[in-house]
Amino acid sequence: MSNHTLDPFPEELWVTAVQVATVWTKPESAREIDADGTGIPTNIDKWVNSLSYKDSLALCDENRIQTQLLYGETVLVIEIVDDWANVVIPSQGSKKDVRGYPGWVPINQLVKVEKSEWYTTETAAVIQDKVWLETENDEQFMKLSYMTFLPVKETGTSRIKVLTPHGDMFLPIDATKIFSTTKGLGKGSGQDIVNAGEAYIGLNYFWGGMSSFGYDCSGLAYAVHKANGYQIARDAGDQAAAGEKVKFVELKPGDLLFFAYEEGKGSLHHVGIYYGEGKMLHSPQTGKGIEITNIKGTKYEKELCAARRYWKAAEES
């Protein structure tokens, strides 16, 4: 990301207070079987692994989930209706709302904090698959996803003290990367973007997924760009509408590939990351895991409709 400031927010912030908060299309979209994803605390591991293929597919086919939030991520609350908050997410750009990605979150998965207290000069990014947030006494408090960002209060020899919605907590120093809050994470190369995605080969697809508990196709693209200092839109259609246009004969690792129905002439439905040598890294669909696949001779060759580049060469960064 270019920066991690809180400029769009009022003096009081609403902050995500669970490991992953799922953003639902409407309050009634959540089912009884989704309790591990809507309660507090959440147990995302248990939730995603307990859903049958049919139940997971319904999250997409029945338009139940929009996106997800990571622990400590800030939102704008538009209104509160009963036990639910109607939010927009400024860090996730979308044509659905110029302020950020919209949807509904259980209000008990958010807490209100003072902007002046939440802002620190440095931020810690979780750079491992998952890591335990710990108390001062080394007790495991919450399992956090890759690319969770938290304000840094103090850096020790083995742990970092971070500010969280639950007060001061600690992260292992080797599981994080500290960066200037105003400058953001350093810009990575296209190969760095590929390398970030490779770590998740085999991880099951999850519709609306924005965490290392499960990504959808555009969620994976978003996360690996975020890890390398680039803030892109949340959905594939919006991702395809920005960035630098790339000719197919000039593809380089890290470029985004977009696919549309009707052999590339219909509606856009998928995004992958160009891997090199005619292959792509992507999160394909419910029931499958993140994979590297050849494009030639597959449906993807016929459906390829656009390519975009968000990363910059070293000399441009």
- CATH number of the domain at 303, please: 3.90.1720.10
Catalytic residue among 166, 225, 269, 270: 270
Same domain, 97 and 137: no
Residue 10 binned pLDDT confidence (cut-offs 50, 70, 90): confident
Same domain, 97 and 135: no
Residue tagged 């494009």 (tokens): 295
Express each pLDDT in 271-301 by its tens digit. Answer: 999 999 999 999 999 999 999 999 999 999 9
What burial letters (b/e) apply to 288-316, b meaning 16+ CB within 10 Å?
eebbbeebeeeebeebbbbbbbbbeeeee
* Mean pLDDT over the full length of the chain: 95
Q: How many structural domains is the chain composed of?
A: 3
pLDDT band for position 88 (cuts 50, 70, 90): very high
Closest CA to 185 of 290, 89, 91: 91
Predicted confidence at residue 163, as pLDDT, reads 97
What separation, in Å, do the N-terminal and C-terminal C-alpha atoms of the chain show? Answer: 13
Query: What is the number of alpha carbons within 13 Å of residue 75 lying toward its C-beta?
Result: 32
Same-domain pairing of 141 and 219 = no
Q: For the segment 20-65, what is each residue's pLDDT rounded down to a tens digit?
A: 999 999 999 999 999 999 999 999 999 999 999 999 999 999 999 9
Q: Which of 4, 60, 166, 217 is catalytic?
A: 217
Instruction: Let me know if 270 is a catalytic residue.
Output: yes
Q: Read off the pLDDT of residues 138-183 as tens digits, 9 standing for 90 and up.
A: 999 999 999 999 999 999 999 999 999 999 999 999 999 999 999 9
Is residue 305 flagged as an active site residue? no
Q: Is 269 annotated as catalytic?
A: no
Domain boundary among 180, 203, 231: 180
What confidence score (pLDDT) does residue 317 get? Answer: 47
